[in-house]
């Protein structure tokens, strides 16, 4: 079955990104497909590559990047939500005159249409947030 996932709360403050990660791993292990995970609201903050948690803590962004690479998951960050919260890719940083981008490997910034499209193209949609 194709399962779409939405993460709508940021890392560390809320458990949402952790629960979503554990859920996606279990879904893949059970033989389901997770073609895309969509990050919205403060969920876009999962995508920053500048996060440096203590060594003995999980690295939420690294975990998502690795999982996406291994299973070809499309990690999409909502552009409108990302711009509000300062999550930028290279193109957007240049366009906005910022001195750096901060999006992590494996994530891409795109529009809300990707969320609707995921709802249309998957068999189930599961949301994690606050």
Partner 1 sequence: MSDVKKFLYVNRKAPYGTIYALESLEVVLIGAAFDQDVSLAFLDDGVFQLTRGQETDEIGVKNFSPTFRALGDYDVTKLYVERESLEERGLTEDDLQEITYEDEDDDWAEKPSIRVVSRAEMTDIMAQQDVILSF
Partner 2 sequence: MSTLHTVNKSPFTNRSLESCLNHCKDGDAVLMIEDGVYGGLAGTALAEMVAARAGAVKLYVLAPDAHARGLGEDRLLDGVSPVGYDGFVDLVTTHDRTQAWL
Least Cβ distance, residue 123 to partner 2 (angstroms):
8
Q: Which residues of this chain interact with partner 1, rule CB under 8 A?
A: 6, 40-41, 80-81, 111-113, 115-117, 119-120, 125, 127, 129
Residue corresponding to tokens 């999409």: 76
First-to-last C-alpha distance (Å) of the chain: 26
Provide the H-helix boundaries in 1-130.
16-29, 60-71, 79-85, 90-95, 113-121
Angle at 37 between CA 65 and CA 19, to 5 degrees: 80
* 29 vs 52, beta carbon nearer partner 2: 29
* 6 vs 68, beta carbon nearer partner 1: 6
Cβ atoms of 103 and 88 closer than 8 Å: yes
Q: Which residues of this chain interact with partner 2, rule CB under 8 A?
A: 1, 3, 8, 15-16, 19, 22-23, 25-27, 29-30, 32, 123-130
Any catalytic annotation for residue 78?
Answer: yes
Catalytic entry in 75, 76, 78, 81: 78
Cβ atoms of 123 and 1 closer than 8 Å: yes
* 5 vs 88, beta carbon nearer partner 2: 5
For the annotated catalytic residues, the residue numbers are 78
């Amino acid at each position: 079955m194709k399962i779409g996932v939405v993460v709508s709360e940021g890392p560390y403050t809320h458990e949402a990104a952790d629960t979503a990660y554990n859920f996606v791993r279990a879904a893949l292990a059970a033989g389901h497909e997770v073609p895309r995970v969509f990050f919205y609201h403060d969920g876009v903050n999962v995508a920053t590559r500048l996060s440096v948690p203590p060594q003995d803590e999980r690295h939420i962004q690294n975990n998502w990047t690795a999982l996406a690479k291994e299973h070809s998951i499309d990690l999409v960050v909502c552009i409108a939500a990302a711009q509000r919260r300062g999550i930028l890719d290279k193109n957007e940083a240049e366009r906005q005159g910022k001195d750096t981008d901060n999006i992590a490997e494996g994530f891409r910034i795109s529009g809300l249409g990707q969320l609707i499209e995921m709802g249309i193209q998957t068999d189930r949609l599961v949301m994690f947030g606050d």
